[in-house]
Structure 1
Amino acid sequence: MVHKFAIEQGALIEQLPEFIQSHFNMVIDVKADGPCGYHVVAHSLGRGEELEFYSKEYTFSNIHQTLGSIYPTPSEPVGTKHWMSMPSMVEAIANAFESPVFFFSPNLFSIMLPSLLSAQSNSRNIYCISTKYTPFCVLNDEPYEFPAPRYLKNWEKSATKEALGWAQLYSPNFQKAHD
């Protein structure tokens, strides 16, 4: 369920680095309820927040058990040990959902490209935002039309040969960030 905050979308976008603000046109605020990180991923991939999406589209072993361990009961949220912590989960999300992940916070702006599979020009980007108002937001934009920070140097060392194409696919974005 999308959580409605009393904060306008413009106020959330204004918390991003100035050079990237004009590239985003929409914010989807998810309820900060423990599994909010999964809601962010589902929205970014255009699937809403449906649990069914995860079980149909991806073949994680025992996904229902995994999600069951983090989903709160209707009466209380889960403890922080079950939360999808950012930016530590960025690589897992990028590889699991075969999509680049962009993480923004007041102190950090980073990108994680999938390191286990070949580049796909039709992939959807996942945007995770951490602000003082809400842990995560999803932003939609036109792919490949925004400046992006360069990926970490260690990414190339851990990426498979096929995955190195992601760097080429996003090279115009990296260049825009340096212009």
Structure 2
Amino acid sequence: MEELNNIIQADQEQLLGSIDDYQAEIVKTFLQSTSNDYLQSADYWLNAGPANTAKFGGEPNKTKIYRDKLLEELEKFLCGNERYEEDRKKIATSGDKSQKYIIGVMSAAIGKTLGAAGAFIAPVIVLLILSIGKMAVNAWCEMRKETRSTAGNSGLA
């Protein structure tokens, strides 16, 4: 789908423009502190919260597990899994092709699957998309298949 390929190829500022300004400012701070490490910044977002409250998932060491689940669902969305077929059709048939709309649809759909608010995971979706970089979606999907296959062979899947 051309819209999804276009969003993958967007630059950092364009993608950060698809989330609320206050979220983008926090993400920029995380990116500065991690030397633009998108995955570590995603972990920071998932661990962020007011003092004296439980972090998302309850335990900081669970953040990577949740980020990996988000990555798996993003893979399903981008790589054609039927779970997200209706959501991809919604993007394809919408008159709104803005990145904000597409990130919103993706975040709501993936959030619904994982039981999280789309608004909360939207910055993580943006960071994960940035981590894909300029790679073609098909190449990324193939790389993810190989990663899962290798993990499955080592008993980690």
TM-score, reference length from structure 1 = 0.28
Identify the structure with the greater helix proportion. Answer: 2
- Bigger radius of gyration: 1
TM-score, reference length from structure 2 = 0.30
